[in-house]
C-alpha cells in the first residue's frame, strides 16, 4: 500500500446520514438516495464527494453504525432536510489511493489502520477518517469497481 502524507484544506460539505451495516447497504444508500439528491441539487458532476464511517464495526452493532455521504458545497449553499452542512477539518492526513470493490475497500481500510499506521511513527488525532472521491473518481456499476483516496488524520507520536 502506497501512502503519502499531505496537508488537506478544510472542506465545507452537505451530507446525509445512513445508519446500518457498512458495505452493501452504504453502496445502496449512495446510488439510491444520496447521488440522486446531489444531481437534483445541481451539485454533481464536478464536486468532490466524501464518505465517513463514524463507528468501528468491531465495537458498534452493525445496525447502529453511522455513515455520512457528503459532497463539497459552496459557502452560500443552504441545506434542507434530509441533508445538513458541516466542515471537514483540514490538516495533516495519510492518504492512500484505492481501486477495487466494496469488500476490497473494507480490507484496504483494515490494512491501512492495522498494518501501515502502527509502523509509520504516526497516530490518529481525533479528526474523522474518510474516503475522498475527487470529481474524476470512477465507479463501474457492472463490476462494482470504484476509485477513491483513503484519508486518515495523523500526528507524530
39-63 residue pLDDT tens: 999 999 999 999 999 998 889 999 9
Structural domain range at position 115: 3-156
Residue 66: the pLDDT is 97
Q: How confident is the model at residue 87 (pLDDT cuts 50, 70, 90)?
A: very high
Instruction: Using alpha carbons, select from 68, 81, 80 the residue that is nearest to residue 19.
Output: 68
How many domains does the chain divide into? 1
Whether the pTM exceeds 0.85: the reply is: yes
- Cβ–Cβ < 8 Å for 142, 101: no
Alpha-carbon distance of 63 to 4, in angstroms, equals 33
Cell of 117: 499506521
Longest dimension (CA), the chain: 44
Q: What is the pLDDT of residue 57?
A: 86
Angle at CA of residue 156, ends 153 and 157, nearest 5°:
115
CATH of the domain at 26: 3.20.80.10
Lookup: cell for 136: 474524476
What does the block give as the cell for 67?
A: 455513515
**Non-local CB neighbours of 108 within 8 Å, separated by 6+ positions:** 1, 96, 98, 100, 150
Average pLDDT, stretch 115-122?
Answer: 96
State the average pLDDT for the chain.
95
Amino acid at each position: 500500500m502506497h501512502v503519502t502524507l499531505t496537508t488537506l484544506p478544510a472542506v465545507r460539505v452537505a451530507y446525509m446520514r445512513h445508519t446500518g451495516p457498512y458495505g452493501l447497504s452504504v453502496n445502496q444508500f449512495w446510488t439510491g438516495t444520496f447521488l440522486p439528491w446531489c444531481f437534483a441539487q445541481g451539485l454533481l458532476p464536478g464536486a468532490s464527494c466524501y464518505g465517513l464511517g463514524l463507528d468501528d464495526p468491531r465495537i458498534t452493532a452493525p445496525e447502529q453504525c453511522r455513515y455520512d455521504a457528503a459532497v463539497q458545497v459552496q459557502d452560500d449553499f443552504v441545506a434542507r432536510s434530509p441533508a445538513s452542512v458541516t466542515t471537514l477539518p483540514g490538516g495533516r492526513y495519510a492518504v492512500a489511493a484505492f481501486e477495487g470493490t466494496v469488500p476490497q475497500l473494507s480490507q484496504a481500510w483494515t490494512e491501512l489502520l492495522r498494518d501501515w499506521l502502527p509502523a509509520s511513527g504516526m497516530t490518529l488525532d481525533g479528526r474523522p477518517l474518510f474516503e475522498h472521491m475527487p470529481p474524476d473518481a470512477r465507479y463501474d456499476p457492472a463490476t462494482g469497481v470504484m476509485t477513491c483516496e483513503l484519508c486518515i488524520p495523523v500526528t507524530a507520536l
